Structure 1
Amino acid sequence: MPKPKEAFEETFPCDFYTPAELLEPDLLYTIPEIARLLQGLDPEATVDPDTEAVLIDWAVPWVIVNGEDLVIAEPLEENGPGYYGVAPHALEDDGAH
């Protein structure tokens, strides 16, 4: 159910990092690792499963929206996760790294 803005003490801008700002250019990341980075955590940080689910809910749309600035690699194992990284052209455009 929607809530009135007055019900909240404070609101914040909904700004997200670009792939070039968030990801190291020579690394590939899984969705859960990207989710942690978006929250300012280490990509290998331990989080409880409920928190991880919420973080992933934020990360998946970020990957979709930023898809043109990302590359993807096939899983290293048959049932393993895919890996995402910043596309070379995004580094050139952003100059973040």
Structure 2
Amino acid sequence: MPRPKSSFEETYPCDFYEPEDLMESGQLYTVYEIARLLQGLEPTAELDRETEDILLDWAIPWIMINADDLVVAEPQSDDEPGYYGLAD
């Protein structure tokens, strides 16, 4: 349910990383790893399921907004996510 802006003590600018600031050239990342990177965590950081779900809420739109700057690779198996990386 929407909340009035006045019910929050403070708001912040919605400032996201640029793909080249977040990812290393020549590397491909899963959406889960991107979610961690967007929060300043290591791609392999251990997270509980609830936290990971919240971080995915940030990562999926980020991938869509930056799609022109990214490439995608198919997962290696049906039970794995795809991979994303910087476009050359």
Q: TM-score, normalised by structure 2?
A: 0.93
Runs of 4+ in 1 over 3 A off after TM superposition: none
- Hey, what does 1:95 align to over in structure 2? none
Structure 2 letter corresponding to 1:2:
P
Q: What are the ranges of 5 or more consecutive residues in structure 1 without an aligned counterpart?
A: 89-97
Deviation at 1:3, TM superposition (A): 1.6
Cα distance in 2 for partners of 1:72, 1:41 equals 22
What RMSD over aligned residues (CA atoms) do the two structures have, in Å?
A: 1.0
The AA in structure 2 aligned to 1:60 is I
Q: Which residue of 1 aligns with 2:69?
A: 69
Offset from partner CA, 1:14-54 (integer Å, 9 cap, x none): 01111111101121000000000011111100111000001
Matched letter for residue 35 of structure 1? A
Partner of 2:41: 41
Partner Cα separation in structure 2 for residue 80 and residue 3 of structure 1: 37
Percent of residue pairs identical: 59
Gaps of 5+ in 2: none
Q: TM-score, normalised by structure 1?
A: 0.85
